[in-house]
Chains A and B, each alone.
Chain A
Amino acid sequence: MEAVRTTHLKKTYHGKTAVDEVSLTIEQGELFGLIGPDGAGKTSIFRMLTTLLLPDGGAAAVDGLDVVKDYRQIRKRVGYMPGKFSLYPDLSVEENLNFFATVFNTTVAANYTLIKDIYVQLEPFKKRRAGKLSGGMKQKLALCCALIHKPTVLFLDEPTTGVDPVSRKEFWEMLQQLKAQHITILVSTPYMDEASLCDKVALIQQGKILSVDTPAAIVASYPQPLYAARANEMHQLLKALQQSADVRSSYGFGEFAHVSFKDTDIDIASFETILAKKGLTDIEIRPTPVTIEDCFIERLNSQA
């Protein structure tokens, strides 16, 4: 049975569509990533699945339970970590954890094995007030609180937003460990680099799902060879690429520009000389592996 299934799920706010006919299927034990920029509708989907919002159309089920009809049942079994830090800042680490354990009719001791790996990192600060923790620590505590009742499905809404790179990496390692405990995890993130850490990802933009597949399959589906280009004047280079008739798509990507060409067998050396004629120096163009972000941009372009 699927852990989560949505069919043509829809949500509108004052006539504006936030979630547009989203149909997703998440298998049990899967680590599923919902990848998209801010305002893509990720939080709305999360809130409908956690029974906090009523869908305006379509249907959704968590653990086979309808999000509208069986909302009480769903609330008992899922774990939810909202995007914003949502614990009590004036309570200590220990008090927060105990409070949520009691609210979910359990004790910290009963499910300690599940959170042990995460909680040991928090233990030295257990008397500290949650509001005084660092961003990474807060996320760990929030994860502990969402896990304390051994949920069947865990919903993590942008858990790594505003967290430093080291803590982000640690956080994803924790998710991998949880996956080993057969907990289905639905995680949303605006960071494309985190997509490759999921079993399966859905790319979402303006409430619409662009594609759903494993990260590897999404990357493999990229239609063209991709090149990374660099020159002394990046701004000039980007302008030149955009104007060039040979270029299929080009955009800035970190310190490089990512380029794909209309002719897949293009002679790179001769293209470099064309660029050099425009006054650019230190030109370097070489093949580069496709990332999820490239695929995302590709889908956006092909939609437009």
Chain B
Amino acid sequence: MKQLLTFVRKEFAHVLRDRKTLLILFGMPVAQILIFGFALTNEVKNARIMIMDQAKDQASRQIIDKIEASRYFEVNQYIHHRDELEKGFKQGDVRLAVIFPQGFDHALQHLHQAQIEVIADASDPNYATTLSSYISSIIQDYQSEQVAAAGHLPYQIVPQIRFLYNPQLKGAPNFVPGVMALVLMLVCVMMTAVSIVKEKETGTMEILLVSPFSPLMVIVSKAIPYLLLSLINVTTILLLSVFVLDLPVQGNLILLFAESTLFIITCLTLGIFISVKTSSQQVAMLISLMGMMLPTILFSGFMFPIENMPWPLQLISNVVPSKWYYIIVKAIMIKGLGFAAIWKETLILAGITLALLVISLKSFKIRLS
């Protein structure tokens, strides 16, 4: 026991005395959260639009006010001729134009039907779709207000669109669980693999092997510091997401930490497995980066929906631990669900961990190869 403690203390010294390691360990999660939170968001903010109001009546004015009030749009210019449309788009900074026809209010009052023309710059199709759906929801909103005020207006169909769990369509919910999976995967796998391989490379592993200390304990004492440091990382990410990104944790915090611990152990065993199979720090680092980061990004569902993938890829995604962790964190953090909703995913993750643990312990060498 005293041996283990000394070993763990030694590992902490290695981490704390190496500025580069420290930077990767604690800088990476913060940087990723901030980058994903503020820079790489696909959320629409302050998109520049043009408005051509040929009606200039009460209804068009009210809708324009609503658009201007929304934080998604910034009305860049009011135009009077269709010729100006093309010029506005070609200058590149205008993404969408809204055109009210003459007699808009009149048509609405008497024909119970009026048209608004929405023209979007579809050179970026996703962006255009998002913008036009925002505009139509603003218009829907106006319509339903009118219905409520008048009380009747027959034959008016108001579609109810509701965004579940993320009503403001915030970008953060999707990526925070994703970044958690990514950071833990990178930190735990890479750090563990590199730290064990380092002992091999510098020759200290030779001395450790020729000692009463059991090789199993070497692994355990390597894993403990990184488990603790990773839990600190989880805490940092959660704090950032709550206080900087305004994304509260809906579900049980203890459950979230318990599941994170399970995932960290999965990653640690993966790291140990890599370290057993490689003998230089560079190779270990490359494998951890390429072998862990890409599958996590591709197959966890955090950037690309798994449902859209061809079935062979869907099949592969099942063995990627971060996919299950991503589902679990999303369920706890954003949907506020309890263990009952995620026991299956937890079981799968635990199964993968156990399998990895057995494989890496079996292949750990008690001698030099």
Q: How far is the CA of A184 from the CA of B213 in the complex (A)?
A: 23
* B206 x A80 contact (CB < 8 A): yes
**In angstroms, how far is the closest chain B Cβ from the Cβ of A249?**
39
In the complex, per-residue mask of B207-250: 1 if CB is within 8 Å of any chain A CB, else 0: 11111110000000000000000000000000000000000000
* B203 x A53 contact (CB < 8 A): no
Given the known A-B contacts A90-B13, A90-B17, are A80 and B6 also in contact in the complex, defined by CB atoms under 8 Å? Answer: no
* B-contacting residues, A39-84, CB 8 Å: 47, 50-54, 71-72, 75-76, 78, 80, 82-84
| A88 contacts partner chain B, Cβ-Cβ < 8 Å | yes
Binding-face segment, A100-108, A110-118, A296-304: A100-108
Q: How far is the CA of A196 from the CA of B209 in the complex (A)?
A: 32
Q: How far is the CA of A95 from the CA of B9 in the complex (A)?
A: 10
Residue of A nearest to B207 (CB): A86
* A103 x B18 contact (CB < 8 A): no
| B10 contacts partner chain A, Cβ-Cβ < 8 Å | yes
In the complex, per-residue mask of B1-23: 1 if CB is within 8 Å of any chain A CB, else 0: 01100110010011001100000
B2 CB contacts on chain A under 8 angstroms? 102
| A87 contacts partner chain B, Cβ-Cβ < 8 Å | yes
| B158 contacts partner chain A, Cβ-Cβ < 8 Å | no
* A85 x B203 contact (CB < 8 A): yes
B7 CB contacts on chain A under 8 angstroms? 99, 102-103
* A75 x B212 contact (CB < 8 A): yes
| A91 contacts partner chain B, Cβ-Cβ < 8 Å | yes
B366 CB contacts on chain A under 8 angstroms? 71
B204 CB contacts on chain A under 8 angstroms? 86-88
* A80 x B210 contact (CB < 8 A): yes
| A98 contacts partner chain B, Cβ-Cβ < 8 Å | yes
Chain A interface residue bracket vs B: 20 to 34
Which of B202, B211, B368 lies in contact with A86, CB distance below 8 A? B202
**In angstroms, how far is the closest chain A Cβ from the Cβ of B228?**
19
| B362 contacts partner chain A, Cβ-Cβ < 8 Å | no
A54 CB contacts on chain B under 8 angstroms? 367
Q: How far is the CA of A78 from the CA of B212 in the complex (A)?
A: 10
**In angstroms, how far is the closest chain A Cβ from the Cβ of B14?**
6
Which of A75, A76, A84, A90 lies in contact with B209, CB distance below 8 A? A75
Chain B interface residue bracket vs A: 20 to 34
A72 CB contacts on chain B under 8 angstroms? 212
A87 CB contacts on chain B under 8 angstroms? 204
**In angstroms, how far is the closest chain B Cβ from the Cβ of A250?**
41
* A102 x B6 contact (CB < 8 A): yes
Given the known A-B contacts A95-B13, A102-B2, are A50 and B203 also in contact in the complex, defined by CB atoms under 8 Å? Answer: no
Q: How far is the CA of A53 from the CA of B365 in the complex (A)?
A: 11
Which of B14, B211, B213, B368 lies in contact with A47, CB distance below 8 A? B368
B202 CB contacts on chain A under 8 angstroms? 84-86, 88-89
**In angstroms, how far is the closest chain B Cβ from the Cβ of A221?**
35
**In angstroms, how far is the closest chain A Cβ from the Cβ of B212?**
4
Q: How far is the CA of A129 from the CA of B213 in the complex (A)?
A: 24
Residue of A nearest to B17 (CB): A90
* B13 x A91 contact (CB < 8 A): yes
B14 CB contacts on chain A under 8 angstroms? 88, 90-91
A47 CB contacts on chain B under 8 angstroms? 206, 368
A99 CB contacts on chain B under 8 angstroms? 6-7, 10
* A91 x B10 contact (CB < 8 A): yes
Q: How far is the CA of A89 from the CA of B10 in the complex (A)?
A: 12
A75 CB contacts on chain B under 8 angstroms? 209-212
**In angstroms, how far is the closest chain A Cβ from the Cβ of B348?**
38
Residue of B nearest to A73 (CB): B212
* A53 x B367 contact (CB < 8 A): yes
Residue of A nearest to B13 (CB): A91
* B367 x A98 contact (CB < 8 A): no
**In angstroms, how far is the closest chain B Cβ from the Cβ of A103?**
5
Q: How far is the CA of A84 from the CA of B18 in the complex (A)?
A: 22
* B208 x A103 contact (CB < 8 A): yes
* A-contacting residues, B145-202, CB 8 Å: 202
* B206 x A98 contact (CB < 8 A): no
* B207 x A52 contact (CB < 8 A): no
Given the known A-B contacts A86-B203, A87-B204, are A103 and B211 also in contact in the complex, defined by CB atoms under 8 Å? Answer: yes
A53 CB contacts on chain B under 8 angstroms? 367-368
* A103 x B3 contact (CB < 8 A): yes
Residue of B nearest to A145 (CB): B207
A52 CB contacts on chain B under 8 angstroms? 206, 209-210, 367-368
B17 CB contacts on chain A under 8 angstroms? 90
Q: How far is the CA of A52 from the CA of B209 in the complex (A)?
A: 7
**In angstroms, how far is the closest chain A Cβ from the Cβ of B28?**
21
Given A78-B210, A99-B7, 6 extra CB contacts under 8 A: A47-B368, A71-B367, A75-B210, A90-B14, A95-B10, A100-B207
Where the two chains meet, the residues of A that have a C-beta atom closer than 8 Å to any C-beta of B are 47, 50-54, 71-72, 75-76, 78, 80, 82-91, 95, 98-100, 102-105, 145-146
Closest 8 CB pairs of A and B: A86-B203, A102-B6, A80-B210, A76-B212, A84-B203, A52-B368, A82-B206, A50-B210
A-B contact pairs, 26 of them (CB 8 A): A50-B206, A50-B210, A52-B367, A75-B211, A76-B211, A78-B210, A82-B206, A83-B203, A86-B207, A87-B204, A88-B10, A88-B14, A88-B202, A90-B14, A91-B13, A91-B14, A95-B10, A95-B13, A99-B10, A102-B2, A102-B7, A103-B212, A103-B213, A104-B211, A104-B213, A105-B212
